Structures are given as C-alpha cells and as structure tokens.
C-alpha cells in the first residue's frame, strides 16, 4: 500500500491558525474544534445532551477546507487511504441498496447507522492537517477514567447519589450504574460509562510513553496516567472491561520484554495466578446460566435461522435491517462479528473485517516502532471487547480507527515528500 501514489490537494495559508505543518498535536482553531469534538464523542456518545457531535465534526472539516482553499502549500492524501475509506463506506452503502431492492418494506435503520461509517473521513482530515490525534484523545479518555473513579468514590461516600445517577443514565446514554449480580456470590458496583471500553487505547498509549521516557519524572507521570486508566476501566465493572484491564498490561509487558521466551512464561504465570485467585469470579462471569450470558447465547439460535438462507449468507440482510429475535424485533445485536455476516454477508463482512484488522497487523508486518505496536495491541483488545459490544461502528470505534489510520499513513517512510510540499 505504501508504494501507491498520493492524490494531491491544495492547502496552508492558515496553517498557524488551523494546525501544525509537521505531524504532531493539533493546535489553533482546529485543535480547539477537535478537542470539543472528542469531548462530545466521549462524554455525550448518543448526542442526547447537547446534540453537538455532528456540528463539531462539520466545523473541523470547515476549518480544514478553509485552509485548503487559502493556502500556498500543497497537501495530499495517500491513495491507499482513500481506497480504504471508499471500501469502508461503499460496503454499507451497497448493503443499503441491496436491502431496498430485496426487501425495503420493513422497519429500517440503515441510513441512521451509516453516520458512524462516514466518520471514517476523520482520517484524511487528520492527514491533511498533519495531526496526531492520539495524545489529545488519550488525555480526554483520562478525564473519562477520572470521572469513573470519582463517581465510584462518590457513591461509596454518599449512597443517595446512586438513585440520581441510576435515573440519569438511561435518559442520556452516558453512564449506567448497577449492583451487578453475577451469581456465585459475586456482586460488583458497576459504574459503566458507555465509552469506557475506549480506555484500552489510553492504557496502551501511556504504557508506551512510560516505557520510552528518558527522565524518571516523566516516566512517573505517565505511569500515574496509566494506572488511572487501568483503575477507570476496572471500576467500570463489566466483564469486558475488567478482563481487558487485567490482560492488556500483561500483553504490553510481554511486547516490551527483551527476552520473549522468559516474558511469555512469566506472562502465562501471572495469568495463571490471577485465574487461580479469582476462580470464583471468573466462573460467575462465564456461567451460561447468568442472565446476561443466557440472553446473549439465545441470539445464536437466531443467527443460525437467519443465515440458513444462502442469499443472506452471501450478501447479507443490509445495514440496519430488522430481524426477529427472542428479545424482539431488532436491527442490531451485541455480537458484532456475527452482525458483519448478517448485515453484509460473507463477501462484504470479510472486507470489513479485513479493514478492521489492518491497523492491528500493519505495525507488526511493517516492523514499525514498539509504540505503534503497543497501540495496535490496545486496538486489538478493543476489537476483542467489541465481539459482544455493539459500539464498534459508532463514533467510539470509528474515532479510534481514524486516529490510528491517520498515524499509519502520515508517518510512513517518505511521507513528508508528498504530505507537505510547497507549490512553485
């Protein structure tokens, strides 16, 4: 992909206002707009409180276009990235057309769901503006982790807050709290911010910064941020969050281990000790009779029935198509990767899965830095969490994907020759 030529787009009189000429953190008007957009995505993911997410995204693009139209410096987007984006959007668009041609008479959510896929256009925006969004994104995610910890402590100190936050959650789709009973005597206070799975990226990012810091003070600072994000993920209280918060640091430690053989044995030993200590909790987490597990497993029967149709198996039902499940008539379930097949079929689903795995595989295949590999491991864990979480193709998952893609394509070897160049 790296050998493909770039498609030039003009840009830069407002570079000092809109953002940096070199690849780095966002600044100026664009930096402020991106900060507001990230805050909206992380703390108002359903866009029910302020309804600003789409407007802020449009503002970011407006600033970018203003720069492109008033600049004497030429910027470009790699053709490989444009191909990636076209595939990412065309697969769901094809599925919508297929649904309208083959069915079209039942309830439908395809055009509403399409908004999440269109957000992938954030990636070329970041490339054009030479922006590395990960530091700012991880700073906002650290605020999220602090919010999880603060709410958890506040409820311990003042139990009366539980009822108020319990009512607040469903109205805003921001945070859900519950005394989650997993059976077998395992009951946990869950302070589940909807975007808390994104903390996996911040954990990986700050682990890398701590390990690569030259000064002890800087390393200590990043270890503190790492610990805050791990604690926030643990206190969010879902099985996904707890397991990844425990396993991800071990995976990152193995990645940075000088002796991989010893590192692998020690990592397995730590996992074994944790499994022995928390055997009762793990048994409760994965008990098929537990209410949440039982409800999810019931969906498998529905997938077997739906995908028994060869045409649906090959081409899918279409993005946003409703089907009958034991829970009712629904357009999407928690099983994200089964949904890829139900929605897009084997052909389209395979393309989308390949696009999702590219940011995980590329840093290792291209032998990128350990920092890039650490973020790839964090994203792999996020994809793993999304197996039973329907948020992958919302603003959460696509935001992370866009930031990682921009870093991959903007920092490839020789990128400076075609990403920022002066016109004659």
| Per-10-residue mean pLDDT, the chain, length 424 | 44 43 77 95 92 94 90 82 96 93 77 91 94 96 97 92 90 88 70 94 96 93 97 90 92 84 72 69 64 74 89 92 85 91 95 96 91 95 91 90 94 41 31
What is the length of the chain? 424
Q: Per the domain annotation, does 415 fall within a domain?
A: no
The rounded distance, in Å, linking the Cα atoms of 299 and 253 is 36
Domain, as residue range, for 327: 6-410
Q: How many domains does the chain have?
A: 1
DSSP assignments along 330-344, one per residue: ES--S-HHHHHHHHH
Res 410: pLDDT? 83
Q: Per the domain annotation, does 234 fall within a domain?
A: yes
Q: Could you report the per-residue pLDDT of 27-39, keeping only the tens digit for each?
A: 889 999 999 999 9
Q: Per the domain annotation, does 419 fall within a domain?
A: no
Res 289: pLDDT? 65
Q: How far is CA 245 from the centre of its chain?
A: 15
Q: Per the domain annotation, does 422 fall within a domain?
A: no
Res 415: pLDDT? 38
Q: List the Cα angle 382/388/392 in 5-degree steps.
A: 50
Q: Per the domain annotation, does 314 fall within a domain?
A: yes
Q: Per the domain annotation, does 187 fall within a domain?
A: yes
Res 273: pLDDT? 74
Q: Per the domain annotation, does 207 fall within a domain?
A: yes
Q: Per the domain annotation, does 421 fall within a domain?
A: no
Q: What is the pTM of this model?
A: 0.87
Res 266: pLDDT? 75
Which residue carries 């077998």 as its tokens?
Answer: 184
């Amino acid at each position: 992909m790296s050998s493909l030529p770039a498609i030039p787009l003009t840009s830069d009189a407002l570079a000092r206002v809109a953002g940096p000429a070199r690849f780095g953190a966002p600044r100026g008007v664009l930096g402020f707009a991106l900060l507001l957009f990230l805050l909206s995505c992380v703390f108002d993911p359903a866009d029910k409180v302020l309804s600003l997410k789409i407007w802020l995204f449009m503002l970011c693009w407006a600033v970018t276009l203003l720069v492109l139209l008033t600049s004497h410096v030429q910027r470009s987007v790699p053709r490989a990235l444009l191909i990636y984006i076209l595939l990412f959007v065309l697969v769901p668009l094809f599925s919508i057309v297929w649904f309208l041609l083959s069915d079209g008479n039942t309830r439908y959510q395809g055009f509403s769901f399409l908004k999440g896929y269109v957000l992938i256009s954030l990636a070329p925006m970041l490339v054009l503006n030479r922006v590395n969004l990960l530091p700012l994104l991880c700073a906002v995610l650290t605020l999220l982790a602090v919010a999880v910890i603060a709410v958890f402590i506040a409820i311990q100190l003042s139990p009366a807050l539980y009822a108020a936050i319990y009512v607040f959650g469903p109205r805003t789709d921001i945070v859900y709290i519950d005394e989650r009973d997993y059976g077998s005597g395992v009951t946990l206070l869950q302070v589940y911010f909807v975007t808390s799975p994104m903390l996996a990226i911040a954990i990986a990012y700050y682990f890398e910064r701590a390990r690569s810091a030259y000064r002890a003070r800087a390393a200590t600072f990043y270890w503190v941020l790492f610990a805050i994000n791990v604690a926030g993920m643990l206190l969010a209280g879902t099985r996904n969050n707890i397991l990844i918060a425990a396993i991800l640091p071990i995976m990152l430690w193995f990645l940075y281990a000088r002796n991989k053989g010893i590192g692998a044995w020690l990592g397995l030993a730590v996992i074994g000790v944790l499994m022995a200590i928390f055997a009762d909790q793990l048994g409760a987490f994965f008990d098929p009779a537990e209410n949440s597990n039982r409800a999810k497993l019931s969906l498998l029967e529905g997938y077997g029935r739906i995908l028994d149709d060869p045409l649906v198996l090959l081409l899918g039902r279409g993005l946003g198509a409703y089907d009958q499940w034991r829970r009712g008539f629904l357009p999407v379930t928690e099983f994200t990767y089964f949904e890829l097949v139900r929605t897009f079929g084997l052909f389209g689903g395979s393309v989308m899965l390949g696009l999702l795995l590219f940011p995980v595989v590329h840093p290792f295949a291209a032998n990128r830095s350990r920092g890039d590999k650490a973020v790839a491991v964090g994203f792999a864990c996020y994809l793993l969490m999304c197996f039973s979480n329907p948020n992958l193709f919302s603003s959460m998952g696509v935001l992370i994907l866009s930031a990682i893609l921009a870093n991959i394509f903007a920092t490839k070897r020789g990128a400076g020759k075609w990403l920022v160049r002066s016109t004659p």
